[in-house]
Structure 1
Amino acid sequence: MPAPASPVLVPGRLPAFRGPVSGADPVVLVAHGSRDPRAAAATRALARAVAAARPGTVVLPSWLDHTAPTPAEVLCGLAEAGHARAVLVPLLLTAAYHRRVDIPAAVAEAGAVGRAMAVRVTDVLGPVGERVDPLLLAGLRQRLAEAEPGRFDALVLAAAGTRDPGARASVGRVAAALGASYGVPCRVAYASAAAPTTGTAVARFRADGARRVAVSAYFLAPGLFHDAVTTAAREASAVAVSAPLTDTPDLAHLILRRLHAFSG
């Protein structure tokens, strides 16, 4: 990796890092980013939860869009502080465009403008291959329990949406596993880019005879998409809509599991 004399940094936008360069490699969490400030607050809360679960590790949030700092800026800041390595965790539920294109581009940008640093990128938080991590399911179940749906006979997994067929298939695997864990049918719905909508999915279940349909939100953070899903679900008479995963303990431990896979 090339190492020019000095990085291009944006004053006032980088997280301050003070302390010795020792111990575990620093961790950079990378979220999609949103104009909604609640999303950034949720990512910061998750970073604090991961840091609390892994004492002695520097854990810093970053965003691909809308919110500063970017992952490239954080990596440059860590390199300037003397770190030779870092681990980047994509806070993504599918391995679609952002994982395949945007995150490698951010790592390349940091390498082009900053000091040399070895950066490893973990798997996304969604399914890896055919496997749905039990910690992801546990986090979804916790949020749904908090929504107090009571007994339900059908479930909709509401996701943000993607045009990537592989990513949609991975969401389908989560829906199948989540429905099986409750012993009820579960269908996928999307807030954008793909059909059906949440309202349509709930209405179809009700037309098929389901009396109580709950909606599990397959989102990491609150924002306009989750708001839209909540409104559509309620208009379609869903019995409950769960909150995004945000900083649930299971999600923090899923991140630790991804880090463990890249340790050593």
Structure 2
Amino acid sequence: MLLVAHGSRDPRANATTRALARVVAAARPGLDVRVSFLELAVPSPAEVLTALGERVVVVPLLLTNAYHGRIDLPAQVAGFDVALAAPLGGTEGRAHLLAGLTKRLDAAISRAAYDGLVLAAAGTRMADARVVVEDAGEQLGAALGVPVEVAYAAGAEPTGGEAVARLRERGARRIAVASYFLACGRLYDTVTGSAAQAGAVAVAEPLGASWDLARLILDRYDAVLPAPALL
């Protein structure tokens, strides 16, 4: 399995990707799990695939199917013998994603201590990709029994601070932030920092190297494996 992350200049993000790979490997003994990055870090997908020289299942560590999932990654693995799995966002396997978001939020603040929630995400100009985040926000809010506003670091509105203001207009007073991010980095800091400056009472850590994410990754991996032949 080759995990492909976006990549970041922030060492926290790349360290989290490698830690997540170790969790996936521990969850599936015997599976060779490698890591690569689309940009801003090494190795690239092409470098790893060239070294392996065999058929590989590629799992994008992307929470939306936007530019990097639709255009960048397919271009970088073109010409290699790969099976390309779906990104981690989307409806398939969302229970694992929601479980991870909830656990991170519960670690940051007790459920009785907030009455509104911002779901902070990176952002994209692709409207259908944003729908995936918005759907996750709706499901998370329904599960927790609080109103939710999605906020973005770039590429779309609202900002974290604007989302806090919208929740206040809806009657919420104690607003927490859940993080639709795999790892810390500039975009995470931007959107969660904006919400905190606007008065959010708690900010959850990103999903990180969690068992919930590892299970989702393995589901994506298994979904593209060929079915065993029937005897």
- Per the normalisation by structure 2, the TM-score is 0.94
**In structure 1, how many angstroms separate the alpha carbons of the residues matched to 2:170 and 2:144?**
19
Cross-structure match for 1:101: 71
Let me know the Cα RMSD of the aligned residues: 1.2
Cross-structure match for 2:103: 142
Aligned partner (choices 203, 206, 225) of residue 241 of structure 1: 203
Cross-structure match for 2:82: 119
Aligned partner (choices 138, 144, 161) of residue 199 of structure 1: 161
Q: Any residues of structure 2 matched to 1:1-264 within 5 Å, and which?
A: 27-79=1-53, 83=54, 85-108=55-78, 111=79, 118-128=81-91, 133-151=94-112, 152-264=114-226
Q: Which runs of 5+ in 2 are unaligned?
A: 227-231
**In structure 2, how many angstroms separate the alpha carbons of the residues matched to 1:227 and 1:205?**
20
Could you tell me whether the CA contact under 8 Å between 2:122 and 2:181 is conserved in 1? Answer: yes
Could you tell me whether the CA contact under 8 Å between 2:93 and 2:216 is conserved in 1? Answer: no
Q: Which amino acid aligns with 2:150?
A: V
Query: Which is worse superposed, 97-106 or 229-238?
Result: 229-238
Offset, 1:230: 2.7
**In structure 1, how many angstroms separate the alpha carbons of the residues matched to 2:6 and 2:64?**
12
The change in CA–CA distance for 1:205 and 1:164 in structure 2 (over 3 A counts) is same
Q: Which amino acid aligns with 1:155?
A: L
Q: Which amino acid aligns with 2:73?
A: I
Offset, 1:132: 6.1
Could you tell me whether the CA contact under 8 Å between 1:149 and 1:239 is conserved in 2? Answer: no
Which whole-Å deviations, capped at 9, do the CAs of 1:163-188 have from their partners, x for residues lacking one? Answer: 00110111111111111110111111
Q: Highest relative contact order (Cα 8 Å, sep 6+), 1 or 2?
A: 2
Q: Which runs of 5+ in 1 are unaligned?
A: 1-26, 112-116
Q: Which amino acid aligns with 1:66?
A: L
**What SS does the aligned partner of 1:65 have?**
coil
Compare the two structures and name the one with the higher helix fraction.
Answer: 2
- Per the normalisation by structure 1, the TM-score is 0.82
**What SS does the aligned partner of 1:173 have?**
helix
Q: Size of the alignment, in residue pairs?
A: 225
Offset, 1:149: 4.3
Q: Which amino acid aligns with 1:229?
A: V
Cross-structure match for 1:15: none
**In structure 1, how many angstroms separate the alpha carbons of the residues matched to 2:48 and 2:208?**
21
**What SS does the aligned partner of 2:187 have?**
helix
**In structure 1, how many angstroms separate the alpha carbons of the residues matched to 2:196 and 2:68?**
31
| Aligned-pair identity (%) | 56
- Larger gyration radius, structure 1 or structure 2: 1
Offset, 1:208: 2.8
